[in-house]
Structure 1
Amino acid sequence: MKLFDVYPLYDVTPVAAQGIEVTDDNGQKYLDFYGGHAVISIGHTHPHYVSSLKEQLDKIGFYSNSIQNPLQRKMANKLGELSGCNDYSLFLCNSGAEANENALKMASFHTGKSKVIAFKNGFHGRTSAAVAATDNPSINAPLNQQQEVSFVALNDFEAFQNTIEGDSFCAVILEPIQGVGGLDEPTTEFFQFVAEKCKEHQVVLIADEVQSGFGRSGKFFAYQHHNIQPDIITIAKGMGNGFPVGGVLIHDSFKASYGLLGTTFGGNHLACAAVLAVLDVMEQEALVQNADALGHYVKSKTSELPEIKNVKGRGLMIGLEFDFEVAALRKALIHNQHMFTGGAKNKNLLRILPALNITKDHIDLLFEGLKKELS
């Protein structure tokens, strides 16, 4: 059997990794400034992470959600403590798409309505409602197009006001920092306006923190830069440092009932051990603060490269925008400088999404590599 060919692949085969260093099958080492789409939050094979998973695997790796799993409660308590979101309840699943799917479903249950407002260049996943709320027609099959979604430009107050008027929407879903779309953000004034209008029209506000959450923006959640409170928060990617796990934080004003949401693998013992290890390291190594500090350092370094026309994002969720398409630059960085970086829907944008425990020395190496390829 062959693999279904849906991924364009670089000719690199990683076989080992440590921190932000990845080693391929030829022994070549690479610096990872992309973290596999912002998934690697505490570094590859962090010792505490590895030992936690090994220890848990020796005990029990999986059982269904039909039994008690104290690790789920322990993890929820730790997450609430570090994020400041103790007035939410946690539903665990397996991915960002599944988290957004359940968030949209919960909003529809809660309001009795079905239409969704999403934002241009937003990305929320590839499953049914999540992909319908994603601004990319090429991955939106006819089956998904049965969902009713209205797309509005970020920071367009009038368009949002005109769209939300009426009585048909169950949810507004919004990335505090767009990931795939190219690191654009709502302004604080716009985010607060959206939150106010959602409350006024009894529409559920979903903050998609799948990529921007777990400290990446320099706060635990990126919406916390704007002094608003979403009804639902979705999480995944960095929460498991590579172990497949996602979650939905649902405000305590929502009522739970048996069977309302469900999953086979979500919240299994290994997943909980992975997330607990990530939270331990984030707390012990002050990674949210490090992300904030190094985000400012990255922005200060961009003055050394006149080719960079704009800097987007916050913390260690950074986009470097050029006046040319960056595909060739990314390829050169891999093959010549041995550095992984990312692209975006904006073809001129280089995405920087490293582990949150990188250092200024690592950032210096990135800019040295960029200077060599741009000279």
Structure 2
Amino acid sequence: MKLFDVYPLYDVTPVSAKGIEVWDDKGQKYWDFYGGHAVISIGHTHPHYVKRIKDQLDKIAFYSNSIQNPIQEALAEKLGQLSSCEEYDLFMCNSGAEANENALKMASFHTGKSKVIAFNNSFHGRTSAAVAATDNPSINAPINKQQAVTFLPLNDFEAFEKAIASDAYCAVILEAIQGVGGLDEPTTEFYQFIAEKCKKHQVVLIADEVQSGYGRSGKFFAFQHHGIQPDIISIAKGMGNGFPVGGVLIHETFKPSYGLLGTTFGGNHLACAASLAVLEVLESEGLTKNADELGAYFREKAQDIPEIKNVKGRGLMIGLEFDFEVADLRKKLIYDQHIFTGSAKNKKLLRFLPALNITKEHVDLFFDALQNALK
């Protein structure tokens, strides 16, 4: 049997990693400024994270959600405290796509409606309703296209007001910083307008924080830059630092019932141990503040490189826009400078999504390598 060939692969085989350093099977060291799509939030093999998981493995790794699991409760309490979202309840799952599926399902249950408003260049996952709300026809199969989704331009007040006034929608789903789409953002005025209209029309506002959450934007959640309160928040990526875990924060005004949502693997003991470790490191090392400060330093450094035409994003969810497509530049960075970076739907954008505990020295190293690759 061979692997189903759906990924274009770089010729690099990582075998070990520590912090943002990664070594391949030939002993070559790389610097990871992409974190596997913003997943590595506290650095590869962080000692506290490793210890948490090893200690849990010695006790119990998994049991279903049919029993008491105090680690889930501890995680919910810690997450509420650090995110300032104590008025939400946590439902745990396994991925960002699953988090968004459950968020959309809750919105539909709550309103009795099925249509969704999403935005141009959005990315919410690759499954059922989540991929239907993703602005990429090439990954939407006919079965997904049965979902009724209206795509609107970001920051278009008139188009949004006209659409939501039809009273046909169960949810608006929105990334505060678009990830795959290319780091575009709603303005504060637009996000607040969305929140106001959702409340007026009794439409559920879903904040997709799968990539932008957990301190990456310089606040715990990126929507917190805009002074709004979503009804539902979806999380994943950096939540487990590489352990497959996702979650949905559901406002306490939504009432649960047995069987409304469910999962086999979500919230298992190992997942909770990994997730608690991430929160503990975020708190003890002040990583949200570090993301904010290094995002500002990154922008400062970018001003010294004339080839950079624009800097997009916030904190350590940031991108450099050039006036040329960056595919060849990414190859030079990997093979010549041994630097991992990311791409986007915007082919002129180089994405930078490192662990949140990088230093100014790491940012300097990145820009030195970038300048060498641009020569």
TM-score normalised by L of structure 1: 1.00
Q: In the TM superposition, what is the alpha-carbon distance from 1:194 to its structure 2 partner? A: 0.3
Structure 1 runs of 4+ aligned residues shifted over 4 Å read: none
1:119 aligns with 2:119: yes
Distance, in Å, in 1 between the alignment partners of 2:286 and 2:135 is 35
* Offset of residue 135 of structure 1: 0.1
Secondary structure of the residue that 1:124 maps to in structure 2? Answer: coil
User: Counterpart in 2 of 1:3?
Assistant: 3
Matched residue, 1:92:
92
Tell me, in whole angstroms, the C-alpha distance in 2 between the residues paired with 1:285 and 1:81.
16
Q: Look up the match of 2:25.
A: 25
Distance between the aligned counterparts of 2:333 and 2:236, measured in 1? 28
Q: Residues 180-221 of structure 1: CA distance to partner in whole angstroms, max 9, x if unpaired?
A: 000000000000000000000000000000000000000000
Q: Deviation of residue 166 (structure 1)?
A: 1.6
One-letter amino acid of the structure 1 residue matched with residue 196 of structure 2: E
Q: How far apart are the structure 1 equivalents of 2:160 and 2:43?
A: 39
CA-to-partner distance for each residue in 1:232-285, whole Å, 9 max, x for gaps? 000000000000000000000101000000000000000000000000000000
* Equivalent-residue separation in structure 2 for 1:167 and 1:286 (angstroms): 43
> CA offsets per residue over residues 108-137 of structure 1, 9 Å max, x none?
000000000000000000000000000000
Paired with 1:138 and 1:162, the residues of 2 have a C-alpha distance of 28
1:232 counterpart = 2:267: no
Give the residue type in structure 1 aligned to 2:41: S
Q: Partner residue of 2:206? A: 206
Match of 1:150?
150
In 2, the alpha carbon distance for the partners of 1:162 and 1:350 equals 35
CA distance in structure 2 between the partners assigned to 1:366 and 1:157 by the alignment: 38
* CA drift at 1:373: 1.1
The aligned runs of 1:167-246 (5 Å cut-off) are 167-246=167-246
Unpaired runs of at least 5, structure 2: none
Counterpart in 1 of 2:313?
A: 313
Distance in 2, matches of 1:166 and 1:178, equals: 26
Distance 2:341 2:199 in 1: 39
The alpha-carbon deviation at position 167 of structure 1 amounts to 1.8
CA distance in 2, matches of 1:210, 1:290: 20
Equivalent residue pairs, number: 375
Q: Which residue of 2 aligns with 1:48?
A: 48
| Corresponding letter in the other structure for 2:16 | A
Whole-angstrom distance in 1 between the partners of 2:333 and 2:134: 29
Where in structure 2 are the equivalents of 1:121-136 lying within 5 Å? 121-136=121-136
Percent identical among aligned pairs is 79
CA distance in 2, matches of 1:259, 1:142: 29
* Cross-structure match for 2:344: 344
Deviation sequence 1:271-315 (CA, Å, 0-9, x none): 000000000000000000000000000000011101000000000
Matched position secondary structure for 1:365: helix
Instruction: Measure, in 2, the Cα distance between the counterparts of 1:339 and 1:373.
Output: 10
How do 1:32-71 and structure 2 match up within 5 A? Answer: 32-71=32-71
Amino acid at match of 2:137: P
Q: What does residue 323 of structure 1 align with?
A: 323
Task: Indicate yes or no: 2:256 matched with 1:273.
Answer: no
Specify the code of the residue in structure 2 equivalent to 1:64. Answer: S
Give the SS at the match of 1:59. Answer: coil
Residue 162 (str. 1) matches residue 162 (str. 2): yes
Q: For 2:214 and 2:15, how far apart are their aligned partners in 1?
A: 27
User: 2:260 corresponds to which residue?
Assistant: 260
Task: Within 5 Å, give how 1:262-301 maps onto structure 2.
Answer: 262-301=262-301
Separation (CA, whole Å) in 2 of partners of 1:211 and 1:253: 25
Residue identity in the other structure for 2:182: G
Gaps of 5+ in 1: none
For 2:56 and 2:340, the matched residues in 1 are separated by 31
* 3-state SS in 2 of match to 1:304: coil
Task: Quote the Cα distance in structure 2 between the aligned partners of 1:127 and 1:76.
Answer: 26
* Secondary structure in 2 matching 1:116: strand
SS at match of 2:58: helix
Q: 1:150 aligns to what SS in structure 2?
A: strand
SS in 1 for 2:16: strand
Q: Give RMSD over aligned pairs.
A: 0.3
